[in-house]
Structure 1
């Protein structure tokens, strides 16, 4: 596997930093507050509406645009109020990314602004060759084929020589079908204490991202 991969694709939220972080909490609250404001409801109602939007349209943003014709930049305005200082540099992850041969990309359903702020605080900005966000995908999110195709075309990526890491299994199904090596990151300890496991050909489950990337680069 290590000799076959020359393109590394990583999700941002709940992948490059843990799902239980203070930033993840702020994102959830920001999205729910935006939904509550646009749909005229409280946070309880917003949770129900947000779940319905994600189930039907892939993301809250896309659902809000379709059902309420909401401007995407207006919806994403909550990102400007996020405190990104809750993230701190991750030297181990930075070193592991730097050791990977070939190109590295962030593929996110968030915005470039959000990605740039998070990567900067994590100390990872210089370790990526590009960011593909929800706006670059014409507001069509992962896991839809239109989004993946646009991403692959933008950066001229050969799926057979690419590895994709994400915290949602649904986002990895199509890339795996296209020939990518895929890794589902859980950030949860494995039963046997190992930091990563191969669960099928070209499919992995990962608890410790720096350790897994170190394995991929032969460290």
Structure 2
């Protein structure tokens, strides 16, 4: 194990499961459908709107709240239409997470409902000591510093003893500034001489999160 820590902070989407499941594609399709209805826009326009909102506000939800004053609960209702059956139990990841020393905390820009559904399908229910969702962050998502501050305060995280795992490099900048170790979980697991590489002091890129946490070389 390349990291000594007593608090393990993990993102959910495309981190605890690989992008190849297509779940993120479903989510983006639902978001674009919401935008199409709200703006009476075609597919190319909804893609442009989504990209612009994310670039300026961090998430589509925050952008629509800031620019259109939408009800976040109405927006998040699309999560109830996702087909979670594309996710399957991951006994190897469950075993590794269960064996990690200290706390395991989930930090997601999704809702608690979404986290519950995904964790259940992955066979990871009960393995986390806390779930910090977009509502717990008072609708301010990663990568905004305010969201991390609320998270750290809620769970009394000591950054120097924590590791933060996320599939988006931008979401790791604040944890690194706070003094956490970070793991950029990059895509689907691939064959190779090592499941991860060092990017710098206490910074790694991992192609296989399970193998990384297990300490495979």
Moved more, 43-52 or 181-190: 181-190
Is this contact kept in 2: 1:8–1:102, CA < 8 A? Answer: yes
Residues 189 and 80 (structure 1), Cα distance of their counterparts in 2 relative to 1, 3 Å cut: closer
- For residue 13 of structure 2, give the secondary structure of its aligned residue in structure 1: coil
Bigger drift between 13-22 and 189-198 goes to 189-198
Q: Contact 2:19/2:188 (CA < 8 Å) preserved in 1?
A: no
User: Using the alignment, how far apart are the partners of 1:183 and 1:171 within structure 2?
Assistant: 11
SS in 2 for 1:15: coil
Aligned length: 217
Cα-to-partner distance string for 1:69-119 (whole Å, 9 max, x where unaligned): 100010111111111111110001101100100000110111111011000
- Higher deviation after alignment, 193-202 or 92-101: 193-202
Does structure 1 conserve the Cα–Cα contact (< 8 Å) formed by 2:11 and 2:167?
Answer: yes
Task: Give the equivalent residue in structure 1 for 2:40.
Answer: 40
Deviations 1:21-68 (Å, cap 9, x if unpaired)? 131221111111112112221222111000000000000000011111
> What value does the CA root-mean-square deviation take over the aligned residues?
1.8
Distance of 2:101 and 2:71 partners within structure 1:
39
Given that residues 111 and 135 in structure 1 are in contact (C-alpha distance below 8 angstroms), is that contact kept between their aligned partners in structure 2? yes
- Runs ≥4 in structure 1, deviation > 4 angstroms? 188-192
Long gaps (5+) in structure 2:
none
Residue matched to 2:195 = 195
Q: Please state whether the residue corresponding to 1:134 is helix, strand or coil.
A: coil
Q: Hey, what does 1:51 align to over in structure 2?
A: 51
Scaled by the length of structure 1, the TM-score of the pair is 0.94
Aligned to 1:131: 131
In 1, the alpha carbon distance for the partners of 2:169 and 2:62 equals: 20
Say which SS state the counterpart of residue 126 (structure 2) adopts.
helix
Q: What is the distance in 2 between the residues matched to 1:33 and 1:39? A: 10
